[in-house]
Amino acid sequence: MIRLDHLTKRYGATVAVDDVSLDIPAGAICALVGPSGAGKSTLLRLINRLIEPDGGCVQIGGAEAGTLPVVALRRRIGYVIQSVGLFPHWSVARNIATVPRLLGWETARIERRIDQLLDLVGLPPSLATRYPHELSGGQQQRVGVARALAAEPELLLMDEPFGAVDPVTRRTLQDALLEIQARTGTTIILVTHDVDEAVRLGTVIAFLSHGRLVQAASPAEMLRAPASAEVAAFFGGPRLGLRLLQTASAGERADFARTIAGEPVEAEAMLDEVVARMAAAGVTSLPVKDGQGRRGVISLDDVVAR
């Protein structure tokens, strides 16, 4: 879907993005992580051509982005900017309607879409007529996400979209994003400083440092074999192993040939939740049940197995 080919961007002496090559298949969620100033936001801006590269190119759906009409290209790409950037003179509804209006959708279709999106990002319909300054920071962020999603873009660039929302809402929004992604097959590139978010959402994690792409791999691969001490430190240093528990679910490790008594864990539950349950109950095995009503068992050995 999107290919970065030796992409470079300089600002004076700083090389903000340094010879980055990366392939992101259609339907993937690429979590872009790395320390502050690593060039994550710059990379997103290169993709929707808010800035032009000093070297290399971006290919979107097989076409070189530099050759496409830029305004039309951007309307196909949803963009959540780091600083939210809602238009202060427009209501929430009008903000969400930004791209559909640019695309000339019919009013009725836009209205339906606004209701849908407010629901999707967990905002009450009554907020539609409010203005951005009448919202909390987290609510503003969610409107920003809704605005980016409005025209069902084939590519979604999100720069720390959930930074200002509380952890519980954040999880809900992550679930909503996964659901949207599963339904529409949108390719997503998401910048985050939240390691759990990267592991939870990313099908691929790309680690950037000083403009360079240090490692791009699936969460499990990256956690098992971090390419550098910096990457290892980012994912928790000595506690990195705990994050590995977030990359597999109980169902993937359980033995469905037998079961034991007790309150079962859901097969979709991640291993960290299983361990938490074990620790709370003081046991090393737990019953598992899946969506089809199958019963199984998962032990601590299964959890830590490779």
Partner 1 sequence: MLLARPAAWVGALFLGLTFGMDRLAPLFSWLYPDLDRPVYTRAGFPELALSHALLAGSASLVATLIGIGAAVLATRRAGRAFAPSLQALTSIAQTFPPVAVLALAVPATGYGALPTLIALILYGLMPVTSATLAGLASVPAALREAADGSGFSPVARLWQVELPLAAPLILAGVRTSTIIGIGTATIGSTVGALTLGSPIIDGLSGSNPAYVLQGTVLVALFAIFVDLLFGEIERRLPRL
Ligand X SMILES: Nc1ncnc2c1ncn2[C@@H]1O[C@H](COP(=O)(O)OP(=O)(O)OP(=O)(O)O)[C@@H](O)[C@H]1O
> Which spans of this chain sit near partner 1 (rule: CB under 8 A)?
48, 50, 71-75, 77, 79, 81, 83-89, 98-99, 102, 131, 133, 147
- What's the min distance (Å) between Cβ of 271 and ligand X? 29
Tokens encoding 190:
């998401």
- What's the min distance (Å) between Cβ of 162 and Mg ion? 14
Residue 64, binding choice from partner 1, ligand X, Mg ion, none, Cβ under 5 to 8 Å by partner class:
none
Instruction: Kindly give, in sequence order, each residue whose CB lies less than 8 Å from that of residue 232, ignoring residues fewer than 6 positions away.
Output: 226, 240
Among 29, 31, 41, 156, binds Mg ion (CB under 5 A): 41
Among 16, 77, 177, 214, binds ligand X (CB under 6 A): 16
Distance CA 146, CA 92 (A): 10
Contact status: 37 vs ligand X (CB under 6 A): yes
In the sheet where 265-266 sits, what is the strand order? 265-266, 285-289, 295-299
**Counting Cβ atoms within 10 Å, is residue 123 exposed (0-12), middle (13-18) or buried (19+)?**
buried
Distance CA 223, CA 236 (A): 10
- CA distances, 68 to each of 24, 52, 189, 253 (Å): 19, 13, 20, 46
User: Do the Cβ atoms of 92 and 128 come closer than 8 Å?
Assistant: yes
- What's the min distance (Å) between Cβ of 89 and partner 1? 5
- Cβ distance to ligand X smaller for residue 129 or 228: 228
- What's the min distance (Å) between Cβ of 45 and partner 1? 8
- Cβ distance to ligand X smaller for residue 32 or 73: 32
Give the single-character DSSP code of 306: -
Nearest Cα residue to 174 out of 18, 35, 31: 31
Contact status: 209 vs Mg ion (CB under 5 A): no
Among 1, 20, 22, 40, binds ligand X (CB under 6 A): 40
- For ligand X, what does the binding mask look like between residues 76 and 115, x meaning CB under 6 A? ------x---------------------------------
Binding site for ligand X (CB under 6 A): 11, 14, 16, 36-42, 82
